[in-house]
Structure 1
């Protein structure tokens, strides 16, 4: 089925839309030459002759339907895949469990609706059945009943970013198709960014196209298809065969306003009207006025697009002669849609958080604030998840504000938008439902996540001598932390719903030390009680903490160091969690092999990694690879001299002093303190610099290091001062070094990994696992390689030694950004289950027993509930 999947992806995602439009008069417009050109990328493991054999298979089999009688069509290939993978239950599509990984591999790139709508259209054309229900869930579930029963016991969603979890592409597309000429500025902004979709054809025949004009063409095609299917008379007739750019497609650009008017008429005459707060609006002209009522209690937002696709597919499979002239238009529409989707859904197979953040930054570009589409985007993220899964604990992550009033307004706005009836069918609108919902307790709660931001202060400026690293961000964090504590004091209604804090975004942008004071401030915050007499109910709950760490890294060592830093600088204790923590469990040998044993990273990172790794080797009593330890010690000496000693002021009393690696490590320990405690007067006790306000008392990390002598050591304080306030050190630390990874280095990293996992277990700190997010951002390329089974294997393994050696960490399964990664919580469990079932041992036998896999997942499900901040 691999070649079948690759062919579908090539034909419905990678093909040039303009070439299809220009070939409209050709009987077989998918020619051998163009297939071979595109296939060079898709079938990279095949020779040209073998790709030609795939094309022959298309022509003689896959372009025909199963009975081999009906005429050839590119759309018939979909039925060959769907018939094996998609099944129907209660009008909804489900996926054959044993084919779930194959489904994920294809649907992730082409979108699920292409496959589900074509499947229903084909089966309905055969059975001559009509269909009125198109509001099935955004992500199809597997048909594994055992898993569904298990998950109905109750789930915890412990890692769910609100703004990354709505159906970002689907709603952006619907908005564009209904308001085609409203987004010139947004397209301009998008075009300034890098193209995230990998181009697949180098053919000279490929058109010079822009995404904006392609979307305009799609809007025109959609309107034309809708008009034909609904027997409406179109107004416009535009030539689409020209290249999709502003110059060649000038006729289309000129007529955009007319196109928008035609769409407006369809919205007025055909579109279903919805109440959106005080307004009445049409979301999509393709959602009909007479929509069957059973759709309105489900994911009705998707109804119109799915119904249009279904109708087109049904006409194709019924061999409707009048629709034949629209085949090329429909195919083009599907191609443009898939290629636009690839700019919003992470499908480009690139690893690392930097790639993901490009998708994250553009997710709301076509969903303007306060629009019905933005409300639906946020609302569906929570309510569709609650509708389709048995969520017992739902932790929603939102960003902080720097003022108490703005934070209150933000939470009030979210609560209003997340009301189930924020959008209602005008036909079914009942004001009393909206009013009654205002007094209902939300089914979710919030964790507020700070945003890691890059330090952009120019180190060459004079101010850098008196400005610590990430000074601006530290001020933001202070304001945001005080805003949260003020809300806890003043607003019992909203403070009850805030249960945790987090820090998210790129780990390269800021390290845990930047957030240390803010985390300590809130984790230990106690209500003053001065306003208790004004409150009907007095409730004080603890703020728990989680932190994104060990997700993305230059070297496994700085990933491990980030995990260590968030534990000791943020004072994480039992009940707290770490998000992702991939560095703690991924296979070190495979990781370094993936990196070809050569790493490119800033010199400051290499120095910190070296000292930290040597300290862990001493702490854990790791006695192997003494030659490698000696190499690392020499590396420290060279880097310290290069970055620090050579940059000390010539008149400085420390210029000729020797600093052992242990002194440097002690200075690293102080990075959890407020840097400004060490800016001057090094001979003064830092404890004398603290005043009595609560924020001030949090400037020192009382929990680490425990020994006060560390903060009294003037050499240690001096190095910490230089790290933060010496601009030459900061500048030279950004220079890049190539680091060679030896076999012994790998063994040392593995040994430290092992010890650290057991350390985390002793502290009873939990790990939030996000399988699909980690699979797409990380370096492992099979779900079964996710380190969750390395963290916890009770119930999965039978070997007493494997069970004993495993740290048995508390882990949970979550979605992270389900909209960007096109997944669901049920799917995350199902994907892990089928991946483990398909794992083979060294003899080719199944590695795990299916019953034990489900027992293992049930334990993880229970741990997820135990991890809840509620």
Structure 2
């Protein structure tokens, strides 16, 4: 089935829509030469002759249904895949569990609606059935009854970024299709960025296409096909004769006439919105979300994912006419195929499908998520509302932790939470059928079902080290100021507003780990984790309560070297004072296969010299701490590497003569590293003075020092240690030199040492009872492992999976949970994450090629993970 999936992906994602629009005949545009040309990328492991054989298979089999050559069509290939993968239960599509990974492999790239709508259209064309329900769940679940029963016991969603969890592509597409002339600036901004669809075209006649022009064409095609499907006469009194030449190349010069007619196109769309579209009440306004959502929509659709109804019905109607062999629609086949291709290309810029690893790739998608969803619009409200509403509707959620960004003032934070509560807990979008007060209120979300964790954002240190002010500003000076304001805003809200205080249960720091490390957030985390209410406003409250603020932190997700991923996790514990009940997000560095990682990197790493120095000293310290006695020659090499890097970055850049010739052992540097959780300005000047005497008695001031037993008082009294920490922050030469890139060669012994440290750290984290938030699809797409079964969750916790006593004993048995992270960007759901892990483990083989786990073992293991997720919740029972 691999070649079938690749062929569908090629034909419905990678083909050139302009070529189809120009030739207007599938016999012309799906030629052997054209297929081979595109197939060089899709079938990269095949020779030209083998790709030719795939085309022959298409012509003789996959383009046919029941071997009837007179029914030959490119759209028939979808039925060959769907018939083996999809089943229908109670009007909804479900995936045959044993084929879930195949489904994910294809649907993730082409979009689920292409497959589900074509499947239902084919079945209904045979049975002559009329379908009225199109609001099935956003992500199709499997038909594994045992798993569905297990998940009905209740789940915890502990890692759910609100702004990354709505149906970002679907709503963006619907918005553009209904307001085609309103996004000139957004398209220009998108096209100035890097294209994330990493397709390689081998055609000699390709030219640069404008995504904007392509989408404008799609809007015209959708309007034209919708009008035909619904018998809308374009020549009545209120409609103009409106035609666009789609055969012209999709760039602003050749398709200039389309740009000139854009307002006319939008006017025609507005007529459809007025005449055909279902009305929704959005706060005080009555609006149409999509002209393809009909006025007579069955009310059962409004109980579910109603926003998808219009586009799904449009696709379904087109497919049904194709599979019913209706002659009057044959002339539109090429238009419909082009529409699907343009939609797929636009989707590839919003959904992470480009197979590139690393958080930097993901952040490009993340930054685009609201380009076409303007604040306060009905589409933005639906985006936020559906992120939570669909999750609660389709899953049995017992604890729902929603991540939102902080604000720099108490007033702005209060307004922000109030707005989220309004959008999430009321009928922010209400169907016209619900305007009647006697009609059942379908979209209420209980305020008790979700709570908030506020996540700081890791920003890059953009300060120029060449500036004279760099001598008096510490690393991440601006971000530290912002964190202070945000932390005080949270504490003020805790003091003064019981309603919103109750809904904030945790703090987090998200975004790229390369942008800022845990030390930057240490002061704010300690301030809020240990914050106690003064009680001065208790007389204004209905009840007196003070729940604990828990902490989580994104760490060990993306890294230059596994070592800085492990070090970031260690810094979370040390600097942020993470303890029992707190969590770490992702923590991939803690469990991924060390040897496979370095093999993936070809045993060569490119990373900043400051990072290499910190990693080296940290590794040597952990070797001493854990009593690792192997690879003595490699340890000696690391010690020499420290000497070289310390001299290059630090010693030769010291201004004070008394320190310039002084020897600094690696242990002194490590002690200076321990102080990074302290406020840098405690060490700005007068190093002879005791740092404890530099703080006053206010609570924020007291949190400037990371006063934990691990950091002994004599460390802060050591003048050499304090000097190194001062230089780290306030010597611009050191900061500049630290940015220089070094290529690090990875040896076999280096790998052995990292493996030992990783293993010991897993047990250390387990002993602290700190939980790990696992996000299988997010980790699979951002990380370097390319099989769900390789996710480190099974190395973190294996009770129920393994039967070998030694394997169980060696496992740290960490507390783990399964979550979604950014389900909108990754096109997934909480149920889907459990199912993907289940089928991946079920297909895993042992050394003899036999199934490694049986379904009962997997089910019991997943049930334990499910329970741990609930136990990890910051929501106190």
The TM-score range, normalised by the shorter chain, is over 0.9
Residue aligning to 1:370? 376
Instruction: Report how far residue 207 of structure 1 moved.
Output: 3.9
Instruction: Give the unaligned 5+ runs of structure 2.
Output: 235-240
Q: In 1, distance between residues paired with 2:436 and 2:411? A: 32
1:490 to 496, 514, 518: 496
Partner of 1:470: 476
Return the TM-score normalized by structure 1.
0.99
Matches within 5 A, 1:338-353: 338-353=344-359
* Alignment-derived partner of residue 12 in structure 1: 12
Q: Which moved more, 1:784-793 or 1:411-420?
A: 411-420
- 1:232, distance to aligned residue in structure 2 (A): 1.1
Give secondary structure in 1 for the equivalent of 2:354. coil
Of 769, 773, 779 in structure 2, the residue corresponding to residue 774 of structure 1 is: 779
Partner of 1:246: 252
State the partner residue of 1:851. 856
Question: Per-residue deviation at 1:431?
Answer: 6.0
Whether contact under 8 Å (2:156, 2:398) holds in the other structure is yes
Q: 1:26 to 1:134 in 2, by over 3 A?
A: closer
Instruction: Provide the residue aligned with 2:635 in structure 1.
Output: 629
Distance between the aligned counterparts of 2:383 and 2:677, measured in 1?
38
- The match for 2:335 among 307, 329, 338 is 329
Is 1:142–1:830's contact at 8 Å kept on the other side of the alignment?
yes
What's the C-alpha RMSD, in Å, of the aligned pairs?
Answer: 1.3
Show the counterpart of 2:177: 177
The question of 1:508 aligning with 2:514 is answered yes
1:134 match = 134
306, 314, 335: which one aligns with 1:308:
314
| Aligned with residue 451 of structure 1, among 454, 457, 482 | 457
Q: Which residue of 2 aligns with 1:818?
A: 823
Deviation at 1:67, TM superposition (A): 4.4
2:215 pairs with 1:215:
yes
Gaps of 5+ in 1: none
Superposed displacement of residue 200, structure 1: 2.6
1:774 aligned counterpart, secondary structure: helix
CA contact (8 A) 1:160 1:814 kept: yes
**Bigger shift: 118-127 or 412-421?**
412-421
1:389-538 matches, within 5 Å, as 389-430=395-436, 441-538=447-544
Q: Shift of residue 441 of structure 1?
A: 3.3
Alignment of 1:536-685 (within 5 A): 536-649=542-655, 651-685=656-690
Deviation at 1:69, TM superposition (A): 5.0
| Cα pair 1:168 1:820 within 8 Å, conserved | yes
Residue matched to 2:187: 187
Shift of 1:225: 0.3
Residues 95-147 of structure 1, C-alpha deviation per residue, up to 9 Å, x if partnerless?
A: 00000000000000000000000000000001111101000010000000000
- 1:741-760 residue pairs with structure 2 within 5 A? 741-760=746-765
Using the alignment, how far apart are the partners of 1:69 and 1:124 within structure 2? 21
Structure 2 CA distance for aligned equivalents of residues 225 and 302 of structure 1: 18
2:698 is the counterpart of 1:703: no
Residue among 729, 747, 759 paired with 1:724: 729
What are the equivalent positions in structure 2 for 1:798-813 lying under 5 Å apart?
A: 798-813=803-818
Deviations 1:819-858 (A, max 9, x none): 0000000000000000000001111100112100100000
Residue number in structure 1 paired with 2:238? none
**1:694-737 Cα shifts (integer Å, max 9, x gaps):** 00000000115331000000000000000000000000000000
- Relative to structure 1, is the Cα distance of residues 431 and 719 closer, same or farther in structure 2, using a 3 angstrom cutoff? farther
Instruction: Tell me, yes or no, if structure 1 residue 66 matches structure 2 residue 72.
Output: no
1:772/1:490 CA distance change after superposition, 3 Å: same
8 Å contact kept, 1:770–1:815 = yes
CA distance, structure 1, for counterparts of residue 165 and residue 521 of structure 2: 25
**1:19 and 1:206 in contact (8 A); partners too:** no
Instruction: Please give the alpha-carbon distance, in whole angstroms, between the structure 1 residues aligned to 2:447 and 2:851.
Output: 47
Could you say which residue in structure 2 is the equivalent of 1:287?
Answer: 293
Q: Give the conservation status (yes or no) of the 8 Å contact 1:670–1:705.
A: no
| 8 A contact 1:379–1:420 mirrored in 2 | no
Q: Does the 8 Å contact 1:12/1:331 carry over to 2?
A: yes
Asked whether the equivalents of residues 208 and 243 of structure 1 are also in contact (C-alpha less than 8 Å), the reply is no
Deviations 1:576-611 (A, max 9, x none): 000000000000000000000000000000000000
- 1:442: how far off? 3.5
SS in 2 for 1:852: helix
Give the counterpart of 1:297 among 298, 303, 326.
303
Corresponding residue SS for 2:823 = coil
Give the C-alpha shift of residue 335 in structure 1: 0.1
Judged with a 3 Å threshold, the aligned counterparts in structure 2 of structure 1 residues 741 and 408 are, in CA distance, closer, same or farther, namely same
Cα pair 2:303 2:442 within 8 Å, conserved = no
Asked if the contact 1:19/1:207 (under 8 Å) is kept, the reply is no
Distance 2:447 2:193 in 1: 42
CA distance in 2, matches of 1:252, 1:155: 50
Give the Å deviation of 1:168.
0.1
In the alignment, the residues of structure 1 paired with residue 67 and residue 120 of structure 2 have an alpha-carbon distance, to the nearest angstrom, of: 18
TM-score, length-scaled by structure 2 = 0.98
Alignment partners' CA distance in 1, 2:396 and 2:442: 23
In 1, Cα distance between the equivalents of 2:335 and 2:425?
39
Cα shift at 1:23 = 1.5
The yes-or-no answer on 1:385 pairing with 2:385 is no
